[in-house]
Amino acid sequence: MTTSPAETAAPASGLPADGPPRRSRAGRLLHPDPMVRRLAGITLVNTVGNGLSLAVGVLFFTRVLGLSAAQLGLGLTAAGLCGVVASVPAGRAADRWGARPVLVVLVAVDAVGTAGYVLVHSYPAFVVLACVVTAVDRGSAAVRNALYAQVLPADRRVAGRAYLRVVTNVGMCLGTAVGAVALQVDTRPAYLTAILADALSYVAVAVLFHRLSVPAVGRKGVPAEPAAASGVEPGVEPAAASGGGREEGGRRRNPALRDGPFLLVTALNALLCLQFAMLEVGVPLWVVQQTDAPRITVAGTLIVNTVLVIALQVRATRGTEDRATAARACGRAGLVLAASCVVIGLAHGLPATVAAALVLAGVALQALGEVLGQAGAWALSYDLAGERDHGAYQGIFNAGTSAALMIGPAVVSTAVIGYGLLGWAALGALLAAAGLAMGPVVRWAGRQGAVAAG
């Protein structure tokens, strides 16, 4: 699902290879790393609120605020553009003042902005508020990724993010289930309550992030030297204490914008992220407009995707801490996604049962490509950046993802659905090319790194 994702040095669990004593079933569901458990708790609170808001959002905006479909689409497009732009400065702010304090501020603003929807009575006010909320939300996503780089050792970041992505899917499912109650009640107070509950979840998340202990983590995940020896005041994050990567006499330019291989990896990952629009927009339109599959197949595709992502995301990260292996994972993801597109496209003109089976099989392939692609992309976004300016690099990377999420629905609905199997095949070819191109780009990055080191 969209929401916004094994190690070579350690098992995915983060424990020694010989493992702990046998634990209960409930114990095995909890991550053994205390920091990941704390992050998982925060993620669960956040995504339950997001799922609740996602479930009721469209009907709230149209039935309660009285917006037309065209007004809603235009406003959300403008908001999406603001989200793309906001990722970069948010990431730089994290480098300058520290990821945790910046994240607390952004999440708090998100709480206020979300609650503000219940006070909106005009279209211009909706557009302005939607732009602010989306910009803050996408900016906070970039800062969160930078925070993960600070609090998780380098050799366990990808596995940790995979676990958090599983929690994200669980939280979204729970929130959507609660939102279904508001949809069934279908009254103004029910919708307002759901929106305010989402706002309260942001308040809780801001408090939890504020209380999160952020250790100083040095290069390759080795704890930084003690505060007394390093000259950093106790309790002050490294980015905040060092000035966020500023040169003496002033700030330097964003290093990620001058990193050619990283920018190209960001662009290729953005192309791979078109798969989310394929799942959320392309498949429902295809099922309803171009196949004889029953409409309930649309709900089935979301269930298949969610279950498989929950089941496979953690194990898909195994080995991806190695740069070359991460690039190969992206290549395999592109090929699997291409196969998914072809299988889904073949459902046109077939009997209802066969068409539904093909669509569900195609979505199962998409879920496999999704977990492989996300694991590889996370690893590359951290590895190519190194232990430097995490906010700047994650801000750029997140901007690419946000751009794909913004333009993806239009691309899929106009350039794929109307052209049948040919359109699906073209999308598949694009996804395969993006995934396979990761290998040469990563080798280019290695050559650049060798030249710089020499």
- Give the chain's domains with CATH numbers: 30-223 (1.20.1250.20), 254-454 (1.20.1250.20)
pLDDT at 398 over 70: yes
CA distance 364 to 302: 10
Q: Which pLDDT band, with edges at 50, 70 and 90, does 357 fall under?
A: very high
Q: What is the pLDDT of residue 449?
A: 62
Q: Which pLDDT band, with edges at 50, 70 and 90, does 252 fall under?
A: low
Residues 417, 290 contacting (CB under 8 angstroms): yes
Q: What is the pLDDT of residue 362?
A: 97
What is the share, in percent, of the chain residues with pLDDT greater than 90?
A: 56
Which pLDDT tens digit goes with each residue over 6-31?
A: 333 333 333 333 444 444 454 556 77
pLDDT at 290 over 80: yes
Over range 57-70, report the average pLDDT: 86
Q: What is the pLDDT of residue 349?
A: 92
Q: What is the pLDDT of residue 141?
A: 93
Which stretch of 242-251, 258-267, 269-278, 379-388 has the lowest confidence by average pLDDT? 242-251
Task: Please name the residues in contact with 255: beta carbons below 8 A apart, sequence gap of 6 or more.
Answer: 245, 388, 389, 392, 393
Cα 119 to Cα 114, 115, 122: the distances in Å are 10, 8, 9
Q: Each residue of 2-36: b (16+ CB within 10 Å) or e?
A: bbbbbbeebbbbbeeeeeeeeeeeeeeeebebebb
Tokens linked to 381: 């976004």
Q: Which pLDDT band, with edges at 50, 70 and 90, does 450 fall under?
A: low
Task: Please name the residues in contact with 50: beta carbons below 8 A apart, sequence gap of 6 or more.
Answer: 3, 171, 172, 175, 198, 201
Cα torsion 38, 44, 49, 50: sign: positive
Q: For tokens 């002050």, name the residue.
A: 236
Q: What is the pLDDT of residue 254?
A: 82
pLDDT at 260 over 70: yes
| Residue type, position 353, single letter | T
Q: Which residue has the higher pLDDT, 223 or 169?
A: 169
Q: What is the pLDDT of residue 29?
A: 65
Q: Which pLDDT band, with edges at 50, 70 and 90, does 1 fall under?
A: very low
Instruction: Share the mean pLDDT of the chain.
Output: 84
Over range 122-130, report the average pLDDT: 94
CA distance 337 to 61: 33
Q: What is the pLDDT of residue 228?
A: 36
Q: What is the pLDDT of residue 55?
A: 82
Over range 342-363, report the average pLDDT: 96
Q: What is the pLDDT of residue 348?
A: 94
Q: Which pLDDT band, with edges at 50, 70 and 90, does 216 fall under?
A: low
| pTM score | 0.79
Which stretch of 27-31, 94-98, 330-334 has the lowest confidence by average pLDDT? 27-31
